[in-house]
Protein backbone atom coordinates (compact mmCIF):
# COMPACT_ATOMS: atom_id res chain seq x y z
CA UNK A 1 0.00 0.00 0.00
CA UNK A 2 1.12 3.56 -0.61
CA UNK A 3 1.61 4.69 2.94
CA UNK A 4 4.54 6.13 4.80
CA UNK A 5 5.39 3.93 7.76
CA UNK A 6 8.11 5.30 9.98
CA UNK A 7 10.86 2.79 10.64
CA UNK A 8 13.45 4.77 12.56
CA UNK A 9 13.59 3.07 15.94
CA UNK A 10 15.17 5.54 18.31
CA UNK A 11 17.61 4.27 20.92
CA UNK A 12 17.45 5.65 24.45
CA UNK A 13 21.14 6.49 24.53
CA UNK A 14 21.85 9.69 26.43
CA UNK A 15 24.28 12.27 25.11
CA UNK A 16 25.24 15.45 26.92
CA UNK A 17 24.63 18.45 24.68
CA UNK A 18 21.95 20.64 23.18
CA UNK A 19 21.24 20.89 19.45
CA UNK A 20 21.90 24.39 18.23
CA UNK A 21 21.28 24.16 14.51
CA UNK A 22 19.98 26.44 11.85
CA UNK A 23 18.83 26.74 8.27
CA UNK A 24 21.10 28.65 5.97
CA UNK A 25 18.87 29.48 2.98
CA UNK A 26 20.93 32.48 1.97
CA UNK A 27 24.13 30.56 1.30
CA UNK A 28 24.93 30.76 -2.40
CA UNK A 29 25.21 27.51 -4.36
CA UNK A 30 28.72 26.23 -4.78
CA UNK A 31 29.38 24.96 -8.33
CA UNK A 32 31.34 21.82 -9.10
CA UNK A 33 33.98 22.35 -11.74
CA UNK A 34 33.81 18.74 -12.91
CA UNK A 35 30.06 18.30 -13.47
CA UNK A 36 28.46 21.73 -13.37
CA UNK A 37 26.58 20.68 -10.24
CA UNK A 38 25.69 23.20 -7.53
CA UNK A 39 25.35 22.83 -3.77
CA UNK A 40 22.96 24.68 -1.47
CA UNK A 41 23.42 24.46 2.28
CA UNK A 42 20.18 23.24 3.86
CA UNK A 43 21.12 22.68 7.49
CA UNK A 44 24.19 23.02 9.64
CA UNK A 45 24.33 21.49 13.11
CA UNK A 46 26.84 21.72 15.90
CA UNK A 47 28.82 18.53 15.34
CA UNK A 48 29.10 17.80 19.07
CA UNK A 49 25.35 18.03 19.70
CA UNK A 50 23.37 16.37 16.94
CA UNK A 51 22.76 12.63 16.45
CA UNK A 52 23.88 12.12 12.83
CA UNK A 53 22.72 8.51 12.62
CA UNK A 54 19.12 9.77 12.91
CA UNK A 55 19.30 12.11 9.90
CA UNK A 56 16.41 11.49 7.47
CA UNK A 57 15.30 13.22 4.29
CA UNK A 58 11.87 13.57 2.74
CA UNK A 59 11.10 11.39 -0.27
CA UNK A 60 11.34 14.40 -2.60
CA UNK A 61 14.81 15.21 -1.22
CA UNK A 62 13.66 18.67 -0.23
CA UNK A 63 13.69 18.57 3.58
CA UNK A 64 15.62 17.00 6.46
CA UNK A 65 14.88 15.96 10.04
CA UNK A 66 17.12 14.58 12.76
CA UNK A 67 17.43 14.12 16.53
CA UNK A 68 19.52 16.08 18.98
CA UNK A 69 20.07 15.52 22.68
CA UNK A 70 20.93 17.60 25.74
CA UNK A 71 20.69 16.95 29.48
CA UNK A 72 18.67 13.76 29.03
CA UNK A 73 16.20 15.44 26.66
CA UNK A 74 15.72 14.65 22.97
CA UNK A 75 14.73 17.23 20.36
CA UNK A 76 13.31 16.77 16.88
CA UNK A 77 15.03 19.18 14.48
CA UNK A 78 13.12 19.83 11.24
CA UNK A 79 14.94 21.91 8.63
CA UNK A 80 17.03 23.35 11.45
CA UNK A 81 14.08 24.24 13.74
CA UNK A 82 14.01 22.44 17.10
CA UNK A 83 11.00 21.02 18.90
CA UNK A 84 10.67 21.23 22.65
CA UNK A 85 12.58 18.61 24.61
CA UNK A 86 11.16 15.15 25.32
CA UNK A 87 12.41 12.26 27.44
CA UNK A 88 12.54 10.09 24.31
CA UNK A 89 11.42 10.29 20.71
CA UNK A 90 10.52 6.79 19.58
CA UNK A 91 9.89 7.21 15.87
CA UNK A 92 9.52 10.01 13.34
CA UNK A 93 9.14 10.73 9.65
CA UNK A 94 7.81 12.85 6.82
CA UNK A 95 4.45 12.60 5.10
CA UNK A 96 4.48 11.26 1.52
CA UNK A 97 4.33 14.80 0.10
CA UNK A 98 7.19 15.91 2.37
CA UNK A 99 5.14 18.76 3.81
CA UNK A 100 4.36 17.35 7.26
CA UNK A 101 6.32 15.72 10.09
CA UNK A 102 5.12 13.45 12.88
CA UNK A 103 6.81 11.68 15.77
CA UNK A 104 5.93 9.59 18.81
CA UNK A 105 7.37 11.04 22.02
CA UNK A 106 7.40 10.33 25.74
CA UNK A 107 7.48 12.62 28.78
CA UNK A 108 7.49 10.80 32.10
CA UNK A 109 4.91 8.02 31.91
CA UNK A 110 2.96 9.66 29.08
CA UNK A 111 3.34 8.89 25.38
CA UNK A 112 1.80 10.88 22.55
CA UNK A 113 2.07 11.76 18.87
CA UNK A 114 3.34 15.15 17.77
CA UNK A 115 2.09 16.24 14.35
CA UNK A 116 3.55 19.41 12.87
CA UNK A 117 4.52 20.50 16.39
CA UNK A 118 1.05 19.92 17.91
CA UNK A 119 0.93 17.31 20.67
CA UNK A 120 -1.89 14.76 20.69
CA UNK A 121 -3.67 12.86 23.46
CA UNK A 122 -1.63 11.16 26.17
CA UNK A 123 -1.45 7.36 26.42
CA UNK A 124 0.56 4.73 28.24
CA UNK A 125 2.32 3.83 25.02
CA UNK A 126 2.40 4.19 21.23
CA UNK A 127 2.82 1.04 19.14
CA UNK A 128 6.30 0.58 17.71
CA UNK A 129 6.32 1.46 14.00
CA UNK A 130 2.51 1.84 13.99
CA UNK A 131 2.56 5.57 13.22
CA UNK A 132 1.70 6.11 9.53
CA UNK A 133 0.55 8.93 7.28
CA UNK A 134 -2.30 8.50 4.84
CA UNK A 135 -1.24 8.44 1.17
CA UNK A 136 -2.63 11.97 0.67
CA UNK A 137 -0.67 13.18 3.75
CA UNK A 138 -3.82 14.61 5.39
CA UNK A 139 -4.03 12.27 8.40
CA UNK A 140 -2.01 10.03 10.68
CA UNK A 141 -3.06 6.84 12.39
CA UNK A 142 -1.38 4.79 15.11
CA UNK A 143 -1.91 2.16 17.80
CA UNK A 144 -2.11 3.43 21.38
CA UNK A 145 -1.95 1.55 24.69
CA UNK A 146 -4.12 2.73 27.56
CA UNK A 147 -5.00 1.01 30.83
CA UNK A 148 -4.09 -2.46 29.63
CA UNK A 149 -6.04 -2.11 26.37
CA UNK A 150 -5.17 -1.12 22.82
CA UNK A 151 -6.94 1.18 20.39
CA UNK A 152 -6.37 2.71 16.98
CA UNK A 153 -6.36 6.50 16.68
CA UNK A 154 -7.18 7.99 13.26
CA UNK A 155 -6.62 11.72 13.18
CA UNK A 156 -8.13 12.76 16.51
CA UNK A 157 -10.72 9.96 16.66
CA UNK A 158 -10.24 6.99 18.97
CA UNK A 159 -11.45 3.55 17.92
CA UNK A 160 -12.83 0.71 19.99
CA UNK A 161 -10.55 -0.79 22.64
CA UNK A 162 -9.21 -4.31 22.29
CA UNK A 163 -6.93 -6.69 24.13
CA UNK A 164 -4.48 -6.63 21.23
CA UNK A 165 -3.94 -5.00 17.83
CA UNK A 166 -2.12 -7.10 15.22
CA UNK A 167 1.46 -5.96 14.60
CA UNK A 168 1.91 -4.21 11.23
CA UNK A 169 -1.75 -4.72 10.25
CA UNK A 170 -2.84 -1.06 10.47
CA UNK A 171 -3.29 0.35 6.96
CA UNK A 172 -4.93 3.22 5.06
CA UNK A 173 -6.74 2.60 1.79
CA UNK A 174 -5.00 4.06 -1.29
CA UNK A 175 -7.55 6.90 -1.45
CA UNK A 176 -6.81 7.74 2.23
CA UNK A 177 -10.49 7.49 3.19
CA UNK A 178 -10.56 4.09 4.87
CA UNK A 179 -8.62 2.32 7.63
CA UNK A 180 -8.31 -1.38 8.46
CA UNK A 181 -6.47 -3.52 11.00
CA UNK A 182 -6.61 -6.81 12.90
CA UNK A 183 -7.68 -6.84 16.56
CA UNK A 184 -8.29 -9.39 19.33
CA UNK A 185 -11.05 -9.49 21.93
CA UNK A 186 -10.98 -12.47 24.27
CA UNK A 187 -9.70 -15.43 22.27
CA UNK A 188 -11.05 -14.25 18.92
CA UNK A 189 -9.55 -12.05 16.22
CA UNK A 190 -11.39 -9.67 13.90
CA UNK A 191 -10.61 -7.62 10.84
CA UNK A 192 -11.74 -4.11 11.77
CA UNK A 193 -12.65 -2.15 8.64
CA UNK A 194 -13.80 1.46 8.90
CA UNK A 195 -14.37 0.87 12.61
CA UNK A 196 -16.63 -2.16 12.06
CA UNK A 197 -15.70 -5.64 13.26
CA UNK A 198 -15.78 -8.51 10.83
CA UNK A 199 -16.58 -12.10 11.72
CA UNK A 200 -14.64 -13.65 14.65
CA UNK A 201 -11.79 -16.02 13.83
CA UNK A 202 -8.98 -17.81 15.62
CA UNK A 203 -6.48 -15.67 13.76
CA UNK A 204 -6.01 -13.07 11.03
CA UNK A 205 -3.27 -13.58 8.44
CA UNK A 206 0.00 -11.69 8.86
CA UNK A 207 0.25 -8.63 6.65
CA UNK A 208 -3.52 -8.39 6.17
CA UNK A 209 -6.08 -6.76 5.74
CA UNK A 210 -5.29 -5.50 2.23
CA UNK A 211 -7.23 -2.86 0.29
CA UNK A 212 -7.72 -2.99 -3.46
CA UNK A 213 -6.03 -0.22 -5.47
CA UNK A 214 -9.39 1.52 -6.01
CA UNK A 215 -10.05 1.33 -2.23
CA UNK A 216 -13.48 -0.29 -2.66
CA UNK A 217 -12.53 -3.86 -1.72
CA UNK A 218 -10.85 -5.50 1.27
CA UNK A 219 -9.30 -8.94 1.70
CA UNK A 220 -7.56 -10.74 4.54
CA UNK A 221 -6.39 -14.16 5.60
CA UNK A 222 -8.19 -15.91 8.46
CA UNK A 223 -8.18 -19.18 10.35
CA UNK A 224 -10.60 -21.43 12.22
CA UNK A 225 -9.11 -24.46 13.89
CA UNK A 226 -6.76 -26.14 11.42
CA UNK A 227 -8.29 -24.44 8.38
CA UNK A 228 -7.05 -21.31 6.62
CA UNK A 229 -8.86 -19.21 4.03
CA UNK A 230 -9.12 -15.75 2.48
CA UNK A 231 -12.05 -13.43 3.15
CA UNK A 232 -12.80 -11.05 0.26
CA UNK A 233 -15.43 -8.36 0.79
CA UNK A 234 -16.81 -10.32 3.72
CA UNK A 235 -17.11 -13.63 1.83
CA UNK A 236 -15.00 -16.62 2.88
CA UNK A 237 -13.15 -18.46 0.15
CA UNK A 238 -12.37 -22.16 0.03
CA UNK A 239 -10.76 -23.54 3.18
CA UNK A 240 -7.21 -24.85 2.93
CA UNK A 241 -4.51 -26.16 5.22
CA UNK A 242 -2.51 -22.98 4.75
CA UNK A 243 -2.42 -19.56 3.07
CA UNK A 244 0.97 -18.36 1.83
CA UNK A 245 2.55 -15.54 3.81
CA UNK A 246 2.60 -12.17 1.98
CA UNK A 247 0.99 -13.64 -1.14
CA UNK A 248 -2.46 -11.99 -1.00
CA UNK A 249 -2.74 -9.32 -3.72
CA UNK A 250 -5.34 -7.45 -5.75
CA UNK A 251 -4.78 -6.75 -9.42
CA UNK A 252 -4.08 -3.08 -10.28
CA UNK A 253 -7.60 -2.73 -11.72
CA UNK A 254 -9.01 -4.16 -8.44
CA UNK A 255 -11.00 -6.80 -10.36
CA UNK A 256 -8.96 -9.87 -9.38
CA UNK A 257 -7.60 -11.44 -6.19
CA UNK A 258 -4.70 -13.90 -6.01
CA UNK A 259 -2.87 -15.70 -3.22
CA UNK A 260 -0.83 -18.79 -2.44
CA UNK A 261 -2.51 -21.71 -0.68
CA UNK A 262 -1.73 -25.24 0.38
CA UNK A 263 -3.58 -28.52 0.80
CA UNK A 264 -1.62 -31.47 2.11
CA UNK A 265 1.78 -31.45 0.44
CA UNK A 266 0.67 -29.36 -2.53
CA UNK A 267 1.10 -25.60 -2.92
CA UNK A 268 -0.62 -23.54 -5.62
CA UNK A 269 -1.80 -20.04 -6.53
CA UNK A 270 -5.52 -19.25 -6.36
CA UNK A 271 -6.84 -16.55 -8.73
CA UNK A 272 -10.48 -15.51 -8.26
CA UNK A 273 -11.15 -18.88 -6.63
CA UNK A 274 -9.49 -20.95 -9.38
CA UNK A 275 -6.54 -23.10 -8.31
CA UNK A 276 -3.41 -23.23 -10.42
CA UNK A 277 -1.11 -26.24 -10.89
CA UNK A 278 0.43 -27.82 -7.78
CA UNK A 279 4.03 -27.23 -6.68
CA UNK A 280 6.15 -27.99 -3.63
CA UNK A 281 6.20 -24.31 -2.65
CA UNK A 282 5.15 -20.80 -3.64
CA UNK A 283 7.63 -17.99 -3.07
CA UNK A 284 6.74 -15.58 -0.27
CA UNK A 285 5.63 -12.21 -1.62
CA UNK A 286 6.07 -13.22 -5.26
CA UNK A 287 2.49 -13.35 -6.59
CA UNK A 288 2.48 -10.41 -9.01
CA UNK A 289 -0.02 -8.97 -11.49
CA UNK A 290 1.15 -6.97 -14.49
CA UNK A 291 0.36 -3.23 -14.40
CA UNK A 292 -2.49 -3.74 -16.89
CA UNK A 293 -3.91 -6.59 -14.75
CA UNK A 294 -3.94 -9.06 -17.68
CA UNK A 295 -0.95 -11.17 -16.66
CA UNK A 296 0.17 -13.04 -13.53
CA UNK A 297 3.59 -14.25 -12.41
CA UNK A 298 4.94 -15.98 -9.31
CA UNK A 299 7.86 -18.05 -8.05
CA UNK A 300 7.30 -21.76 -7.45
CA UNK A 301 9.38 -24.67 -6.14
CA UNK A 302 9.54 -28.15 -7.63
CA UNK A 303 11.92 -30.55 -5.98
CA UNK A 304 15.21 -28.74 -5.37
CA UNK A 305 14.62 -26.09 -8.03
CA UNK A 306 12.84 -22.75 -8.09
CA UNK A 307 11.24 -21.37 -11.24
CA UNK A 308 9.13 -18.43 -12.38
CA UNK A 309 5.64 -19.08 -13.72
CA UNK A 310 4.26 -16.41 -16.08
CA UNK A 311 0.70 -16.78 -17.39
CA UNK A 312 0.88 -20.48 -16.53
CA UNK A 313 4.12 -21.03 -18.48
CA UNK A 314 7.07 -22.32 -16.47
CA UNK A 315 10.52 -20.83 -16.85
CA UNK A 316 13.86 -22.53 -16.35
CA UNK A 317 14.63 -24.01 -12.93
CA UNK A 318 17.32 -22.41 -10.72
CA UNK A 319 18.82 -22.96 -7.30
CA UNK A 320 17.03 -19.84 -6.04
CA UNK A 321 15.06 -16.86 -7.31
CA UNK A 322 16.07 -13.56 -5.73
CA UNK A 323 13.68 -12.17 -3.12
CA UNK A 324 11.72 -9.15 -4.37
CA UNK A 325 13.21 -9.33 -7.87
CA UNK A 326 10.30 -10.65 -9.94
CA UNK A 327 8.74 -7.74 -11.82
CA UNK A 328 6.83 -6.76 -14.94
CA UNK A 329 7.80 -3.81 -17.10
CA UNK A 330 5.48 -0.76 -16.81
CA UNK A 331 3.73 -1.74 -20.04
CA UNK A 332 3.29 -5.33 -18.79
CA UNK A 333 5.02 -6.83 -21.81
CA UNK A 334 8.32 -7.87 -20.24
CA UNK A 335 9.37 -9.88 -17.17
CA UNK A 336 12.64 -9.85 -15.23
CA UNK A 337 14.06 -11.50 -12.11
CA UNK A 338 17.36 -12.53 -10.50
CA UNK A 339 18.30 -16.19 -10.20
CA UNK A 340 21.07 -18.18 -8.50
CA UNK A 341 23.20 -20.76 -10.30
CA UNK A 342 25.53 -22.51 -7.89
CA UNK A 343 27.21 -19.69 -5.98
CA UNK A 344 26.63 -17.08 -8.66
CA UNK A 345 23.70 -14.91 -9.68
CA UNK A 346 22.33 -13.64 -12.98
CA UNK A 347 19.40 -11.58 -14.21
CA UNK A 348 16.83 -13.13 -16.52
CA UNK A 349 14.93 -10.76 -18.84
CA UNK A 350 12.21 -12.24 -21.05
CA UNK A 351 13.82 -15.64 -20.61
CA UNK A 352 17.30 -14.47 -21.67
CA UNK A 353 20.08 -14.90 -19.11
CA UNK A 354 22.60 -12.18 -18.39
CA UNK A 355 26.17 -12.48 -17.14
CA UNK A 356 27.00 -14.30 -13.93
CA UNK A 357 27.95 -12.23 -10.86
CA UNK A 358 28.72 -12.86 -7.21
CA UNK A 359 25.46 -11.13 -6.21
CA UNK A 360 22.65 -8.95 -7.52
CA UNK A 361 21.91 -5.88 -5.42
CA UNK A 362 18.68 -6.31 -3.41
CA UNK A 363 15.90 -4.10 -4.73
CA UNK A 364 17.96 -2.73 -7.63
CA UNK A 365 16.51 -4.60 -10.60
CA UNK A 366 14.25 -2.23 -12.54
CA UNK A 367 12.78 -1.36 -15.92
CA UNK A 368 12.85 2.13 -17.38
CA UNK A 369 9.52 4.01 -17.43
CA UNK A 370 8.98 3.06 -21.08
CA UNK A 371 9.84 -0.58 -20.38
CA UNK A 372 12.61 -0.65 -22.98
CA UNK A 373 15.65 -0.69 -20.70
CA UNK A 374 16.78 -2.75 -17.70
CA UNK A 375 19.25 -1.84 -14.95
CA UNK A 376 20.55 -3.44 -11.76
CA UNK A 377 23.53 -3.44 -9.40
CA UNK A 378 25.85 -6.45 -9.28
CA UNK A 379 28.84 -7.57 -7.24
CA UNK A 380 32.01 -8.86 -8.88
CA UNK A 381 35.21 -9.71 -6.97
CA UNK A 382 34.27 -7.60 -3.92
CA UNK A 383 33.41 -4.59 -6.08
CA UNK A 384 30.01 -3.30 -7.23
CA UNK A 385 28.86 -2.00 -10.60
CA UNK A 386 25.63 -1.05 -12.33
CA UNK A 387 24.58 -2.98 -15.42
CA UNK A 388 22.35 -1.16 -17.92
CA UNK A 389 21.04 -3.13 -20.90
CA UNK A 390 23.85 -5.61 -20.38
CA UNK A 391 26.59 -2.95 -20.39
CA UNK A 392 28.72 -2.79 -17.24
CA UNK A 393 29.52 0.49 -15.54
CA UNK A 394 32.51 1.52 -13.46
CA UNK A 395 33.54 -0.52 -10.42
CA UNK A 396 32.88 0.91 -6.93
CA UNK A 397 33.19 -0.24 -3.34
CA UNK A 398 29.40 -0.31 -2.96
CA UNK A 399 26.15 0.81 -4.59
CA UNK A 400 23.61 2.31 -2.19
CA UNK A 401 20.34 0.32 -2.09
CA UNK A 402 17.29 2.25 -3.23
CA UNK A 403 19.19 4.88 -5.19
CA UNK A 404 19.23 3.43 -8.70
CA UNK A 405 16.87 5.52 -10.85
CA UNK A 406 15.96 6.14 -14.47
CA UNK A 407 15.18 9.62 -15.80
CA UNK A 408 11.50 10.17 -16.77
CA UNK A 409 12.25 9.54 -20.46
CA UNK A 410 14.33 6.44 -19.65
CA UNK A 411 17.38 7.90 -21.33
CA UNK A 412 19.58 8.38 -18.25
CA UNK A 413 20.48 6.27 -15.24
CA UNK A 414 21.72 7.56 -11.87
CA UNK A 415 22.80 5.90 -8.63
CA UNK A 416 24.83 6.49 -5.48
CA UNK A 417 28.19 4.75 -5.13
CA UNK A 418 30.88 4.41 -2.49
CA UNK A 419 34.49 5.06 -3.48
CA UNK A 420 37.38 5.31 -1.05
CA UNK A 421 35.10 5.75 1.94
CA UNK A 422 33.06 8.59 0.43
CA UNK A 423 29.76 8.68 -1.46
CA UNK A 424 29.03 10.17 -4.87
CA UNK A 425 26.23 10.11 -7.41
CA UNK A 426 26.87 8.76 -10.89
CA UNK A 427 24.65 10.07 -13.69
CA UNK A 428 25.13 8.84 -17.23
CA UNK A 429 28.64 7.76 -16.20
CA UNK A 430 29.69 11.16 -14.82
CA UNK A 431 30.52 11.43 -11.12
CA UNK A 432 29.42 14.14 -8.71
CA UNK A 433 31.58 15.53 -5.92
CA UNK A 434 32.23 13.16 -3.03
CA UNK A 435 30.42 13.38 0.32
CA UNK A 436 30.55 11.68 3.71
CA UNK A 437 27.09 10.20 3.19
CA UNK A 438 23.74 10.61 1.50
CA UNK A 439 20.65 11.33 3.57
CA UNK A 440 18.58 8.28 4.58
CA UNK A 441 15.03 8.25 3.21
CA UNK A 442 15.72 10.72 0.42
CA UNK A 443 16.06 9.68 -3.20
CA UNK A 444 17.86 10.74 -6.34
CA UNK A 445 15.15 12.86 -7.97
CA UNK A 446 15.15 13.65 -11.67
CA UNK A 447 13.58 17.09 -12.17
CA UNK A 448 13.96 16.67 -15.92
CA UNK A 449 15.78 14.30 -18.28
CA UNK A 450 18.94 16.40 -17.95
CA UNK A 451 18.95 17.41 -14.26
CA UNK A 452 18.63 15.71 -10.90
CA UNK A 453 19.03 16.50 -7.22
CA UNK A 454 19.87 14.69 -4.00
CA UNK A 455 20.70 15.38 -0.35
CA UNK A 456 24.27 14.84 0.80
CA UNK A 457 26.22 15.26 4.04
CA UNK A 458 29.73 16.51 4.65
CA UNK A 459 30.69 16.78 8.29
CA UNK A 460 27.79 18.48 10.07
CA UNK A 461 26.41 20.13 6.92
CA UNK A 462 23.54 18.88 4.77
CA UNK A 463 23.45 20.06 1.17
CA UNK A 464 20.91 20.01 -1.61
CA UNK A 465 22.97 19.07 -4.65
CA UNK A 466 21.63 19.88 -8.11
CA UNK A 467 23.44 17.90 -10.76
CA UNK A 468 23.39 18.31 -14.52
CA UNK A 469 23.31 15.07 -16.49
CA UNK A 470 25.83 15.19 -19.34
CA UNK A 471 25.04 13.84 -22.75
CA UNK A 472 21.28 14.13 -22.33
Q: Coil, helix or strand for 29?
A: coil
Give me the pLDDT at residue 47, please. Answer: 67
Per residue in 88-147, pLDDT tens?
A: 999 999 999 999 999 999 999 999 999 999 999 999 999 978 999 999 999 999 999 999
Buried b (16+ CB within 10 A) or exposed e, 252-280: bebebbbbbbbeeeebbbbbeeeebeebe
Give me the pLDDT at residue 129, please. Answer: 86
Q: Which residues face 47 on adjacent strands?
A: none
Residues of the chain below pLDDT 50: 1-34
Give me the pLDDT at residue 17, please. Answer: 25
Strand spans (E) along 166-248: 171-172, 179-185, 188-193, 196-197, 203-204, 210-211, 218-224, 227-232, 235-236, 242-243
Q: pTM of whole model > 0.75?
A: yes
The C-alpha atoms of residue 100 and residue 276 are separated, in whole angstroms, by 45
Residue 27's Cβ-count burial label (10 Å; 0-12, 13-18, 19+) is: middle
Give me the pLDDT at residue 450, please. Answer: 87
The C-alpha atoms of residue 416 and residue 128 are separated, in whole angstroms, by 30
The C-alpha atoms of residue 420 and residue 268 are separated, in whole angstroms, by 48
Q: Per the omega criterion (within 30 degrees of 0), is the bond before 209 cis? A: yes
Per residue in 409-460, pLDDT tens?
A: 999 999 999 999 999 999 988 999 999 999 988 899 999 988 999 999 999 9
The C-alpha atoms of residue 44 and residue 203 are separated, in whole angstroms, by 50
**Nearest Cα to Cα of residue 279 among 251, 246, 315, 333:** 315
DSSP single-letter state for residue 182: E
Give me the pLDDT at residue 5, please. Answer: 38
Amino acid sequence: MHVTRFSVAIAVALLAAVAVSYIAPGVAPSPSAETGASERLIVEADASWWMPWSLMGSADSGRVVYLAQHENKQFLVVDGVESRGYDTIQTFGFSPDGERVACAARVGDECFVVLDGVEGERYDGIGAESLIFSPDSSRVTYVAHWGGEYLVVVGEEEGERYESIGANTLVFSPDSQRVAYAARSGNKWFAVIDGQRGAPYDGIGAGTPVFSPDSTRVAYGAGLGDERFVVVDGEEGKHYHGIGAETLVFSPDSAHVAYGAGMGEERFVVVDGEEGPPYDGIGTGTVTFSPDSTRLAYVAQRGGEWLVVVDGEEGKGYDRIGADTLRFSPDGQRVAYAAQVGREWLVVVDGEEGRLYDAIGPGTLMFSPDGQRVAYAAEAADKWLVVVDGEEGRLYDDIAPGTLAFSPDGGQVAYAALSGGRWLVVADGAESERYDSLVTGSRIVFDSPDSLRFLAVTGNRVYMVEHEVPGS
